[in-house]
Amino acid sequence: MLRIYDTRARQVEEIEADRAVRMYTCGPTVYRHAHVGNLRTYVLSDLIRRVLERRRVRVVACRNITDVGHLVEDPSGDGEGTDEDKVVAQALAEGRSPRELARHYEDAFVADTAALNLRPPEHAPRASETVDLMIELIARLVERGHAYTAPDGSVFFDVQSFPSYGEISGNRLDALRPAHRIEAVDPRKRFHADWALWKPGDGELTWDTPWGRGFPGWHVECSAMSLRFLGSRFDLHLGGIDLRFPHHEDERAQSNAATGHEVVRHWVHGEHLLFDGRKMAKSTGNVVLLSDVVAAGLDPLAVRLAFLEHRYRQQLNLTWDTLRAADRTVRRWRARVAEWSESPSAPMAAAYAERVESAFDDDLDTPAALRILRELERDETVAPGAKFETFLHLDQVLALDLSSEIGKPKVLPPGAAELLAARERARESGDWAASDRLRDELAEMGVRVSDTPEGQIWA
């Protein structure tokens, strides 16, 4: 069965799957397009789902849409930020209503996930449509002595009422200090590390509550939605490593305090993605969207393969060169699968398939799985029909659309015609080293070249 690294336990643990596995993934804040770094977490959750389903385990997935409550900035580093909602601020900048803006970027996010072959979750609740659940949860926390109200209508979580705070991130409560940019502790708080469950305010994205009109804090949203759609105990909670603290730490405290027991069995985090060695940010000008990848003439699934070339717990430095290399591999494998499909049928190469599946089960060791697939591709002792069956079987997890070229007329990929012409000139001039090098470059693009008395032919 699948074994995966549990951030809270700090070790690789086996996922018990004698029943349906319920999985929650923190979804996007829909005030802008998701960049490829954001999308890495969602590919991780899809990969986990596909590996489990390959073992005939039913997965019930929930991925929320944050369209309220995520504040513009976080100057203290404690997740509090200012009182300006990101969706509201961006809607004002774009001249749209907050609802129109949120739906626009939600639709764009869903389109990106479809382009990456991510299976849609069973539940995709919007924060703005589940505020009643958050109000109920906050009221329960107040009733149980884990939260308190302030005169201005704010409600804060009393972190000192939850002794095991910090088990995910390792940040001990007695070691937490106010952030260096905060001159004074908020006088409304009993303890500087307490966080807002509800904030007072007016405007379009506000609601009436027993504490006054306002809007929910970001952290309480995921607690309320996960408890409602997955129940009071579920198996997996996923997110990027940047959410480990304070978001997931706060979420665990809220959910456990409300239920009286440990809600999440395993916490799983994907590492950061860099682009050209730097964190993606507007200020550095290196934000890359999936639409940018397509505009560059690359298949969007080249992004998925580039992610799979690295372990999810490793920081990944993506570059245009790595994306182009991944694109060549995707196209080559599709061409190989189409070619193998014309060969006589043969049983799957079971030994290879078992090795790849073992790599998947071993804490999602996708780099090892891809190395084994390349070994199979080159193994001349394995019948083409067996390669065809094996690659298609494993593509249920890889999700690279490896069968998409079967039955299609053969068309040269971009740039291949120029390479073929250059190779023809090299052969005419007797430059056999250049001829061989160009043959290898064409093979990387999925174009196989053969030399005949009438000249070179390709397939």
Quote the strand ranges of 109-213, DSSP E: 147-149, 155-157, 195-200
452 within domain boundaries: yes
Same domain, 387 and 345: yes
Q: Are residues 336 and 424 in the same domain?
A: no
| Structural domain ending residue among the three candidates 351, 370, 398 | 398
DSSP string for 87-105: HHHHHHHHTS-HHHHHHHH
Separation between Cα atoms, residue 211 and residue 199, nearest integer Å = 9
Range of the domain at 436: 416-458
Domain count, the chain: 3
Burial of 181 (0-12, 13-18, 19+ CB in 10 A): exposed
| Structure-block tokens of residue 30 | 């829909």
| Within a domain: 406 | no
User: Which segments are annotated as binding site?
Assistant: 26, 222, 247, 251, 282
pLDDT tens, position by position, for the chain (459 residues)?
899 999 999 999 999 877 799 999 999 999 999 999 999 999 999 999 999 999 899 999 999 999 987 776 544 444 455 567 888 889 989 999 999 999 999 999 999 999 999 999 999 999 999 999 999 999 999 999 999 999 999 999 999 999 999 999 998 887 776 654 455 678 999 999 999 999 999 888 899 999 999 999 989 999 999 999 999 999 999 999 999 999 999 999 999 999 999 999 999 999 999 999 998 877 778 899 999 999 999 999 999 999 999 999 999 999 999 999 999 999 999 999 999 999 999 999 999 999 999 999 999 999 999 999 999 999 999 999 999 999 999 999 999 999 999 988 777 888 888 999 999 899 989 899 999 999 888 988 888 888 877 688 787
**363 in a domain, yes or no?**
yes
- In order of 25, 335, 387, 441, the CA distances from 338 in angstroms are 35, 5, 11, 19
Tell me whether strands 278-279 and 455-458 are parallel, antiparallel or unpaired: unpaired
359 with 428, same domain: the answer is no
Does 405 reside within a domain?
no
**283 shares a domain with 137:** no
User: How far apart, in whole angstroms, are the C-alpha atoms of residue 74 and residue 239?
Assistant: 19
Are residues 42 and 103 located together in one domain of the fold?
yes
Q: Show binding-site residues for ATP.
A: 282
CATH of residue 177's domain is 3.40.50.620
Per the domain annotation, does 322 fall within a domain? yes
Identify whether 404 is part of a domain: no
Which of 248, 270, 292 is the last residue in one of the domains?
270
Contact 98, 88 (CB under 8 A): yes
In this structure, the answer to whether residues 263 and 168 fall within a common structural domain is yes
pTM: 0.88
Residues 182 and 214 in one domain: yes
Same domain, 97 and 166: yes
Q: Are residues 247 and 315 in the same domain?
A: no
Q: What number of H helices and E strands is found in the chain?
A: 14, 15
Q: Are 229 and 344 members of one domain?
A: no
- Give the helix/strand (H/E) hosting 271: none
Contact criterion met (CB below 8 Å) for 128 and 102: yes
Judgement on whether residues 249 and 285 belong to the same structural domain of the protein: no
Helix (H) or strand (E) holding 332: helix 320-340
Give me the half-sphere count of Cα atoms (radius 13 Å) on the Cβ side of residue 329.
21
Q: Is residue 410 part of a domain?
A: no
Residue stretches of the annotated binding site for Zn(2+): 26, 222, 247, 251
Domain boundary among 242, 270, 298: 270
Q: Is residue 287 part of a domain?
A: yes
Shared-domain flag, residues 220 and 251: yes
